[in-house]
Amino acid sequence: MNASAKWLRRALLGSVALGAMATGAQADDLTALKAQLEALQSRVNQLESTGPAASAGAPEGASYISFRRGSDLGWDMSNLIPADERLMDDRGFTVAITPTADLPAPIMEVAISGYVKADFLYDTHNFLGDAASPSAVALGSGDDENVRLHARQSRFRITSKSDTAVGQIRTLIETDFFGAGNTLRLRHAWGEWDMTPNTTFGAGQFWTNFYSQAGQINTIDFGALLGGSDGISRQSQFRITHRTGPATISVALEDPGGNSAVTFAGGTSGATDHDLPDLTARAAFSLGSANVQVSGVVLENHIDANGVGAALGVGNDSDIGFGLAAGVDIPFGDMITLYGQAAYSDGATRYLSSGGTAGYNAVIGPTGNLRSTESYGWTVGASFKMSEASTFNAAYSSFRVTDNRPAGFDRGADKIHVNYLWQPVSKLRMGVEGIWANREATGGDQDNIRIQFATWFFF
């Protein structure tokens, strides 16, 4: 019995009882009172069976909307979104369509959450951008100090979960303000369908399936660490994920739009033609207490005499590129966690992070043929839990191009991140970070130091 029906019953029955006492409750009145009580009981039973929506005149089978704090929909995102990108379940709020007794539960839940983040950036040599990139360091520069304040990382997220006759369906839409001119941009637009209890079909714009959530240490800087699987973050794709025992295996067809080819000389360049989607695969599993992920990508770099080749003066040519990556988190009790990532590419450089110095997979040689660009990167780091409300994090990452590097492009880059994060309550986090960024360019090396302070207000 719901609360409103209980209240109505008590009120009606109480009024009848008071009436009976007021009239002296004659013997011949008891029969009438009994009839009234039976009528009232019948009305209460009707309210209980139809529910509040039906009592308000809603169509049969309708439901009512309820609200609760938190955004936990029971959606396990541990293998989907890095730990520092996830929003805690007790933040935000959830709107639920509560079913009647005639409909299966749950019908639909929609959770809304996000945060406002303010960043204070101070660079000792050159402005590294709103997300620190070593490629922004000017060669031969002196102490050209720069201060920048922005709130572009502020984020808004909507997730949903619906149970249907063919399996559960989930969606994620997420935006921030890192679009051109501080405009709102799409981060994620992702949907999943549980085809079977162990197999999920996903589609939309999401983290590339090559990306490893393992080995990702928490940083305040919005830019990626250099050595690993995050050269590109999010792209459109179709993905199948299968869970078998302790392992999760996923395969995806992804947008090849970022592939590019660059000439050795003259600076003339153009994006490669796209004949096939990129194929990525990833496996996530546990080894003891360690969380491990391995991934790979295979793609085609292609130039067409009637496409890009016409502008560059070359004919048809194709080259198969590939990339491999691995990441691991190793906890030591509740206080310390070690992180590591490594990645290698031969013709799939854009899938490796390079601090803004890459994004190409191949070069066009002197004879007009494609040559795969070779590169590698790695990251190591550690996180120390200082208290229930604070953590200390440190990471070193590196990236290098080793073969078929286009003329004028950087040889590589390095970054060091050291930060302290304090979160006294779930709705507030503050942190300070020091970043050392080193650029290895054709014309020499140059570094920069950034101090960054940030505050997050979660909702």
pLDDT in tens, 369-381: 888 889 999 999 9
| 315-319 own/partner pairs: CB under 8 Å, 24+ apart | 315/368, 317/368, 317/369, 317/370, 318/275, 318/370, 319/347, 319/362, 319/370, 319/371, 319/372
Answer whether residue 216 shows pLDDT above 80: yes
Q: Look at residue 18 and tell me whether its pLDDT is greater than 70.
A: no
115 pLDDT above the threshold of 90: yes
Which one of 97-106, 207-216, 361-370 scores highest in mean pLDDT?
207-216
pLDDT tens digits along 143-172 = 788 999 999 999 999 999 988 889 999 999
Looking at the DSSP bridge assignments, the partners of residue 108 are 97, 162
Least confident interval from 80-94, 107-121, 301-315, 433-447? 301-315
Q: 27 falls in which pLDDT band (50, 70, 90)?
A: very low
Query: Over 50: is that where the pLDDT of 336 sits?
Result: yes
Mean pLDDT confidence for 258-281? 73
Percent of the chain with pLDDT over 70: 75
Q: What is d(CA 394, CA 451) in angstroms, rounded to the nearest whole number? A: 14
- Residue 223, pLDDT > 60, answer yes
C-alpha dist (Å) from residue 269 to 70, 201, 314, 319, 354: 49, 37, 12, 17, 19
- Residue 273 is classified by DSSP as B
Are 361 and 373 in contact, with CB atoms under 8 Å apart?
A: yes
Contacts of 10 (CB under 8 A, 6+ apart): none
Tens digits of residue pLDDT in 28-68? 556 766 676 676 666 555 544 444 444 444 455 555 777 78
User: What domains lie within the chain, and their CATH numbers?
Assistant: 3-58 (no CATH), 117-151+210-458 (2.40.160.10)
257 pLDDT band, cuts 50/70/90, is confident
Whole-number pLDDT of residue 26 = 47
With 70 as the cut, is the pLDDT of residue 189 above it? Answer: yes
Question: Which tokens in the block code for residue 371?
Answer: 């040559």
